[in-house]
């Protein structure tokens, strides 16, 4: 059965005030269009979880959507910091819960696997373990040294962007996989956004690439350029210029408001954003072609 719907409808139906949201994607496939739609709908008091909050959560914090962040690296890599997140933590207006990358994705892995917690080896660095009471230690029942454990994370809703999916939500992903699959399996509801909606035959032509199956997906949205200014492998490059510009934009309240007014509140949806972005930027970000060699699954 088709789960195709508009992104605004999917957000309206599946993201509610106070929800724990996991917008997935490590540098790659970050669903900015969904973040912007959440801002437009004025959804509040969210707990925003991501390994790297990135610009998407800095914008959502700036727009007043969040009461808490859960993260493992809160910088704008190679550029600077995420100002609104950092200021919120420093002035006490934003709650936070912090892990290392491995701790963060281990929480998702436990959630995705139906386990209560995930063990990890000790690291010798105790300060974060002491600061975050959800880090615990458990005795190895087989006689080894104690392991560090983190509890399963079950987001109320995960938002996962992919290259292509069929209308039921069976999705192909390639390039950096981050925590896309774990987030989808760990969450209670999943909004899938895709660059392309394809026939089920295309999905079935390459089943090893289907990392997210329809059975965990709640809604499917066709959203070309959903990830801009992050990227979608093979479709468009990361807009590194914008990541640099955000450092300037985010510096004061007026310029953030101007940005949100123009690029979020000022457009109806991603299609309008894309039109506003313009052909020149789209051309600049278009990658060359590099095809993989086809494989023979065999006909049996």
Give yes or no for residue 78 binding another protein (CB under 8 A). Answer: yes
Is cis: bond before 229, omega within 30 of 0?
A: yes
Options 74-82, 252-260, 262-270, 276-284: segment touching another protein (CB under 8 A)? 74-82
Could you tell me which of 22, 52, 26, 44 has the C-alpha nearest to residue 34?
22
Residue 192 interacting with another protein (CB under 8 A): no
Is 279 among the residues that bind another protein (CB under 8 A)? no
Q: Which of 6, 210, 233, 281 binds another protein (CB under 8 A)?
A: 233
CB of residue 254 to another protein, shortest distance in Å: 23
- Alpha-carbon distance of 138 to 153, in angstroms, equals 18
List of long-range contacts for 236-244, beta carbons under 8 Å, 24+ apart: 236/282, 236/285, 236/286, 236/287, 237/285, 237/286, 237/287, 238/27, 238/285, 239/281, 239/285, 242/55, 243/55, 243/76, 243/78, 243/79, 244/79
Q: Does the protein bind another protein through residue 115 (CB under 8 A)? A: no
Query: Does 170 engage in binding with another protein (CB under 8 A)?
Result: no
**What would the x/- binding string for another protein be over residues 14 to 53, using CB under 8 A?**
------------xxx----------------------xx-
CB of 196 to another protein, least distance (A): 17
Rounded to whole angstroms, the Cα distance separating 185 from 13 reads 19
**Segment (H or E) for 138:** strand 136-138
Max CA distance (Å), the chain: 64
Please select the residue that binds another protein; options are 105, 171, 219, 226, rule is CB under 8 A.
105
- For position 242 contacting another protein by CB under 8 A, the verdict is no
The answer to whether the beta carbons of residues 27 and 230 sit under 8 Å apart is yes
Region binding another protein by CB under 8 A among candidate stretches 60-68, 91-99, 197-205, 212-220: 91-99
Among the listed residues 33, 62, 70, 89, the single contact to another protein using CB under 8 A: 89
Q: Which of 238, 263, 266, 269 binds another protein (CB under 8 A)?
A: 238
Choices 59-67, 98-106, 164-172, 269-277 (CB under 8 A): range interacting with another protein? 98-106
Beta carbon nearer to another protein, 13 or 27: 27
Of the residues 240, 251, 253, 257, which one makes contact with another protein according to CB under 8 A = 240
15, 44 contact by CB (below 8 A): no
Query: How big is the chain by its Cα radius of gyration, in Å?
Result: 20
Residue 198 to residues 30, 60, 64, 240, 255, Cα–Cα distance (Å): 21, 31, 36, 29, 40
Q: According to the binding rule CB under 8 A, does residue 114 interact with another protein?
A: no
- Indicate which single residue of 16, 44, 67, 86 sits in contact with another protein (rule: CB under 8 A): 86
270, 226 contact by CB (below 8 A): yes
The binding site for another protein (CB under 8 A) comprises 26-28, 51-52, 71-75, 77-78, 81, 86, 89-90, 92, 98-103, 105-106, 108-109, 120-128, 131, 145, 174-182, 231, 233, 237-238, 240, 243, 287, 290
């Amino acid at each position: 059965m088709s789960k195709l719907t508009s992104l605004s409808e999917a957000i309206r139906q599946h993201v509610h005030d106070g929800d724990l949201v996991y917008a997935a994607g490590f540098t790659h496939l970050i669903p900015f269009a969904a973040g912007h739609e959440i801002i437009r709908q004025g959804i509040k008091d969210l707990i925003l979880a991501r390994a790297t909050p990135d610009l998407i959560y800095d914008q959502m914090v700036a727009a007043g959507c969040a009461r808490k962040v859960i993260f493992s690296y809160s910088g704008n890599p190679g550029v600077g910091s995420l100002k609104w997140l950092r200021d919120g933590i420093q002035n006490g207006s934003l709650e936070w819960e912090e892990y290392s990358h491995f701790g963060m994705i281990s929480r998702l892995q436990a959630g995705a696997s139906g386990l209560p917690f995930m063990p990890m080896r000790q690291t010798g660095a105790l300060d974060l373990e002491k600061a975050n009471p959800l880090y615990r230690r458990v005795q190895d029942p087989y006689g080894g040294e104690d392991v560090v454990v983190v509890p399963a994370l079950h987001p109320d809703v995960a938002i996962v962007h992919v290259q292509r999916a069929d209308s039921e939500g069976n999705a192909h992903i390639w390039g950096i996989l981050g925590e896309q699959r774990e987030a989808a399996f760990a969450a209670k509801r999943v909004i899938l956004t895709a660059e392309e909606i394809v026939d089920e035959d295309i999905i079935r032509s390459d089943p090893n690439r289907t990392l997210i199956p329809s059975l965990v997906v709640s809604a499917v949205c066709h959203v070309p350029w959903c990830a801009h200014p992050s990227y979608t492998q093979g479709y468009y490059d990361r807009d590194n210029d914008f990541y640099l510009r955000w450092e300037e934009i985010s510096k004061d309240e007026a310029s953030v408001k101007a940005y949100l007014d123009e690029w979020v509140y000022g457009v109806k949806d991603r299609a309008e954003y894309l039109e506003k972005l313009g052909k020149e930027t789209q051309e600049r970000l278009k990658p060359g072609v590099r095809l993989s060699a086809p494989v023979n699954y065999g006909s049996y």
